[in-house]
Amino acid sequence: MYRKIRFQLTLLFTLVTSILLAALLGISFVWFASSSLSMRVSSFAAQAATVTQDMDEQNVLTVDWLNAKEETSNFGIYLWDNETPFFHNQNHGAPSLPNADYRTAYDFSPVSENDAVFIGRRGLFPEILLYRGQQIRNGGILRFDFLQSMEPFSVYLRRSFLFCLLLYLAASSLLGCFCRYFTGRLLSPLSASQEAQNRFISAASHELRTPLAVILANASACEKAPRSRQKPFFSVIAKEGAQMSDLLEQLLTLSKADAHGLELQIEKTDLQTLLLDIYEHFLPVAAESGRRLHIRLPETEIPLCECDPARIQQICHILLHNALSHTPPGTHVTLFLETETDGKEVGIGVADDGEGIPETEQAKIFERFYRGNDQKNHHGLGLAVAKEIAAAHRGTLSVSSVSGGGACFLLKLPLSFIRS
């Protein structure tokens, strides 16, 4: 699907940018050609006006004089004396346009309504310039045409047009490559998100399948068992149902976090009181599991923290539950609260003196459904949920090794919640 979308976006971006580039190059070329032609026309008109003035000052027009003017002015001169060709013979006349063939050979258009200069074309590019005028001499009308070839200029324009075309094709190719790369980068997060979502759904389905199968199996066995022996089956069903409820709650939290819809009830919270309540709640759990739970609070009073106390309590429950479940009996687990040096953050941590977490696994334990070798009975979602809640508070959750063995999970929270 993403390949098709990438191809379509690449094609769309390339077409749009190519059209814009073609329009830009076209406008630039037309402006360049018009400016160059305008300068050539102005130069030709000035030369033609000078020759006309010189011609008016001559009492007698000779072939030598006309040939000299043609050579210095770089254009041909055609004369008509009362509509009779004058000096159009082998000794004078434009070699490339003998006699008056140029009148029908080109399509002439005036430069302006009141201008005597005309541009002759047989195609897209101008090929000849014509200056048309007349004088009254000795009671007769002397009409004259000055013609200048535009072939070198036309060749120059054609080469410029070809260069612009090649430049356009090269730029379009580069734009296509860039658009393909750009759309790939654009769709890469979406593709990765889709793959992560597919893995998430697959793993969630697998996790739900196991307790569901146990529930169905026990329900079937309970149906066949006599009433006096049904209680153990109900106990297993209740236990697996509670695990499924916990798993679904974690999945819902992660789903909301992915959709940026994790709701927080922010209020000013006394973290010292909150941690004392959590400590008292987990004391019996720790004693029953053979671990020793401690709490360490600052001696000085710390400011109230803007947070969601229920969500912070959820993080602490996850960290303490993991510490009490994955450490050997007799381990010391400490719940502590500390202030950062800048005075803008507060740290909540859970440390133990157990076997610790290998550095190779410390970056993986926050991944969803990741479980170490000693965590086969857990879903591998708790730390992922805790990290998402920390991120929603604009905080961080990290793990580090403790000297002498053990691990320390530290939640850093800003005292003032920054709303986006």
Segment 307-345, tens digit of pLDDT: 999 999 999 998 998 888 888 888 899 999 998 767 788
Q: Which two tokens stand for residue 115?
A: 């201008």
Question: Is 80 exceeded by the pLDDT of residue 139?
Answer: no
Least confident of 42-51, 191-200, 213-222: 191-200
Q: What's the Cα-to-Cα distance from 363 to each of 20, 63, 249, 252, rounded to whole Å?
A: 48, 98, 24, 23
Which pLDDT value is given to residue 199? 66
User: At residue 377, does pLDDT exceed 90?
Assistant: no
Residues in the chain: 420
pLDDT (0 to 100) of residue 97: 45
Could you tell me the sign of the dihedral formed by the alpha carbons of 161, 163, 166, 171, in that order?
Answer: negative
Mean pLDDT on 8-13: 84
Query: Does pLDDT of 134 surpass 90?
Result: no
Structure tokens at 288: 């029953």
How is domain 267-414 classified at the CATH fold level? Heat Shock Protein 90 (3.30.565)
pLDDT at 270: 92
* CA distances in angstroms from 173 to 66, 305, 339, listed in the order given: 55, 57, 58
Q: What is the pLDDT, as a whole number, of residue 70? A: 83
Summarize the confidence of residues 179-198 as an average pLDDT.
Answer: 75
Tokens linked to 37: 């032609």
Domain residue spans of the chain: 75-149, 267-414
pLDDT value at position 347?
92
- pLDDT exceeds 50 at position 96: no
Q: What are the counts of helices (DSSP H) followed by strands (DSSP E) for the chain? A: 9, 13
**Residue-wise pLDDT tens digits, 212-254:** 877 888 888 888 888 777 788 888 888 778 777 777 777 777 7
- Quick one: pLDDT at residue 409? 93
Q: Which two tokens stand for residue 370?
A: 């990741």
